[in-house]
Structure 1
């Protein structure tokens, strides 16, 4: 029996240094409605989210549509890059992708963040075997999880993600058998 996890990278947010409570932007709320429309035709059994507000807000429409309660899962939160803001985000993030064991002061290495994300994903696959699961999450942790199951998902793949983005991962047990990209922003 196959299990489908629909990883939903959160929509665009209004920047604040408060990671936990950073809300969606006006564009983000509009895109969250498109996420709901995209997933309405799927029989969603479970909705899980990172505890970060922007991730919750991105999937709450789909939870409401299917009359589901959003279950919070701490381990789907974004990877902590550093305990203090970095001067050059692009170089800082590139460095952790180049060396999976490197971490900035107080931050998580790719290896540690991936271990956290994969552990919770395996738990979800076990508990909700055969179900369709939406997971509201973040770009880095999502790609690190995907990379564990297929090494082609890397830094360059992460750089190409959209906000929001949706990837359907189909599993047999813990084996990833198929990935389908369900979101692409329409450019005018």
Structure 2
């Protein structure tokens, strides 16, 4: 099975209902064209508005089945305001069980995304796209590429697309968005 992991396009904030910016809407149209030759059989998205709007054009123009899944939503680092959130986030890539007040550790977030991926690997689908957020994307990629961490997360674009090919003997990961 091939799994396409898509990070949402540029948005005007981090809230669950944050909309795409003008540049984000334009990028979602380019993304729809980019994805149309990949024979994607199913799209599963984070319920956050920016993720849904990122893939909406592709789904509508290609008549691809679409589902929402809470396991793809962005990780909450803390329910409290953390002025040094950037440093705290970096720390969670090293200490994967580190948990801030009201937040989710890297291991907890990885567990939920892996549950979905394992379900998909057991399905009859040959090609599925999931639409998520940068932190969740990086944690998933870290499962196949242990070097993929905080520095690689910083280099992700909006949007971004990686292909994971769960082939016969080994898993192959490629960044395919240019």
Q: Same fold (TM over 0.5)?
A: yes
1:107 pairs, out of 98, 103, 107, with 103
TM-score normalised by length of structure 2:
0.93
1:141 pairs, out of 116, 136, 141, with 136
> Partners of 1:128 and 1:48 in 2: how far apart?
15
Map of 1:123-142 to 2, 5 A cutoff? Answer: 123-129=119-125, 131-142=126-137
Map of 1:109-188 to 2, 5 A cutoff? Answer: 109-129=105-125, 131-172=126-167, 177-184=171-178
Find the residue that maps to 1:135 and give its secondary structure: strand
Contact kept in structure 2, 1:44 and 1:66, CA below 8 Å: no
Q: 2:23 corresponds to which residue?
A: 27
- 1:82-127 CA distances to partner (integer Å, 9 max, x unpaired)? 1123212211211211210101111011111111111111112212
The alignment covers a number of residue pairs equal to 178
Matched, 1:72 2:71: no
1:57 pairs, out of 50, 53, 59, with 53
Contact kept in structure 2, 1:9 and 1:165, CA below 8 Å: yes
Q: 1:15 corresponds to which residue?
A: 13
TM-score normalised by length of structure 1:
0.89
Change (3 A) 1:171 1:107: same
- List alignment gaps of at least 5 residues for structure 1: none
Contact kept in structure 2, 1:143 and 1:158, CA below 8 Å: yes
Find the residue that maps to 2:128 and give its secondary structure: strand
> Partners of 1:177 and 1:91 in 2: how far apart?
31
Which structure 1 residue ranges, 4+ long, deviate > 4 Å from structure 2? none
